[in-house]
Amino acid sequence: MPAGQLLIQSEVAADEAIARGASLAHALSPERPVALYATTLTGDALCLGGYQNERQVLGTHERTKPWLRRASGGAAIRVGHGVAYLALALHDRSSLLQCPPGRLLNRNVRGVLTGLRGAGLSINYFGRDFLSLGAEPVSYVAWDLREGGQALLEFFIACSNTWFLPEAEQAYPPRKEPALRGRAPTTIAALRPELDASTLFRAIADGHARGFDVIWSEAALDQPSHEHCTTRIADEALTWSSPREEAIGFVSAGVALDPSGKFTNVRVAGDFFAHRACIATLEKQLCGAHPHVQTVGEAVDAAFARSGYDVEGIRNLSVIRDAILEAAQSCTR
């Protein structure tokens, strides 16, 4: 029976809520391996995934539109009024039930599904990065895995307003595959307007108690870190490749070379999900090396195909290799 810390608030600014979600891992321990934070959001902003290049997502609006960045990966969404936020933090991927690599969402969305179904909602997870009400996307879900093994799942539930950000409001190239598998997003209010966010939060907490025997205790507020809310990926010193479409969005790379043509900095950006160690390992592998196809390909494989380093949203790692080589070639022009 895992011990869990539960904190439910109402009407919190989006940046404050997301910063608090990212800070949950600091309160976890083997004795108290689960924490759940839930709140309704206020304001109106764009929320970028942890690995997205803000210029490639927002274009000329990057410095004019209000935006923030969450700890988890994935795509850009809209946050604020009408959207509920839920952060589930785990001491490790198997804190609730045994969870092999590559199954983080599949295993750990089950408490949310159990809870919302208990509230009378026909909620489903068909894969990818969203939960569906029936067959229509209603909650965006994203994850983050830290080097120490702590996991964070973030849920953005469309109560009375959708989180979906249309393609026309992003600076990415036109997609070949439609977002959300071509499904139109919906809201809880469209089907069950009497269900408020507080009811949903209590149902989700109960879903974890019934499904995983979590014993909840009320958690105290602490001071969250805002490090992810202000992070910029589009470093002025980096030369970037063009975005390349992948399973759930786009992937690009930014690099810097020294006068001899060796890598001094390498960054991979996009709408994917990855263990935090992937990016750090790749940079360590490539810094000081020349941008040759075999060298880059082997480094990408060593960083992103390593056992236990979850990666989602990328079908073929060659897209990362090719983006790095394109960026390196642009540096020498």
Task: Determine the straight-line distance between the first and last CA of the chain, rounded to whole angstroms.
Answer: 60
Predicted confidence at residue 256, as pLDDT, reads 96
**Whole-number CA gyration radius for the chain:** 20
What does the block give as tokens for 36?
């759940």
Give yes or no for residue 219 having a pLDDT over 80: no
Confidence of residue 308 (pLDDT cuts 50, 70, 90): confident
Query: What average pLDDT score do residues 198-227 get?
Result: 89
Spatial CB neighbours of 148, under 8 Å, sequence gap ≥ 6: none
* 13 closest CA partner among 35, 39, 46, 37: 39
Cβ atoms within 10 Å, residue 78 = 22
Task: Provide the CATH number for the domain around residue 120.
Answer: 3.30.930.10
> How far apart are alpha carbons 210 and 286 in whole angstroms?
47
In the predicted model, is pLDDT for residue 63 greater than 80?
no
The pLDDT tens digits for 129-160 are 999 999 999 999 999 999 999 999 999 999 99
The answer to whether residue 312 scores a pLDDT higher than 90 is yes
Residues 225 and 322 in one domain: no
**Domain end point (choices 213, 230, 247):** 230
Strands, DSSP E only, in 49-203?
A: 67-69, 77-80, 83-90, 123-124, 130-133, 136-145, 151-158
* Cα-based angle 171, 176, 180 (whole degrees, multiple of 5): 80
pLDDT digits (tens, 9 = 90+) for 86-123: 999 999 999 999 999 889 999 999 999 999 999 999 99
User: Based on the domain organization, do 121 and 260 belong to the same domain?
Assistant: no
Q: Tell me, yes or no, whether 67 and 131 share the same domain.
A: yes
The mean per-residue pLDDT over the stretch 56-83 comes to: 93
Average confidence (pLDDT) over 213-219? 92
Q: What is the pLDDT of residue 233?
A: 86
Distance between CA atoms of 317 and 54, rounded to whole angstroms?
A: 22
Judgement on whether residues 217 and 286 belong to the same structural domain of the protein: no
Q: Tens of pLDDT along 34-59?
A: 999 999 999 999 999 999 999 999 99
Q: Which domain holds residue 284?
A: 239-331
At residue 306, the pLDDT reads 87
CB 201 within 8 A of CB 208: no
**Residues above pLDDT 70, as percent of the chain:** 98
Rounded CA separation 40/238 (Å): 37
What's the predicted TM-score (pTM) here? 0.96
User: In the predicted model, is pLDDT for residue 126 greater than 70?
Assistant: yes
Q: Same domain, yes or no, for 200 and 178? A: yes
CA separation for the pair 218, 115 (Å, rounded): 18
**Residue where one domain finishes, among candidates 230, 253, 272:** 230
Per-residue confidence band for 29, with pLDDT thresholds at 50, 70 and 90 = very high
Same domain, 140 and 275: no
The tokens describing 123, both together, are 């909620």
- What mean pLDDT, rounded, does the chain reach? 94
Q: What is the token pair recorded at 111? A: 């408490």
Q: Residue 265 forms beta bridges with which residues? A: 256
Angle between helix 197-212 and helix 110-118 axes, rounded to 10 deg: 120
Where does a domain end: 208, 230, 252?
Answer: 230
Q: Has residue 323 got a pLDDT over 70?
A: yes
Total domain count for the chain? 2
pLDDT at position 221? 66
Residue 278 is given by DSSP the state H
C-alpha triplet 105, 107, 108: angle, nearest 5°? 65
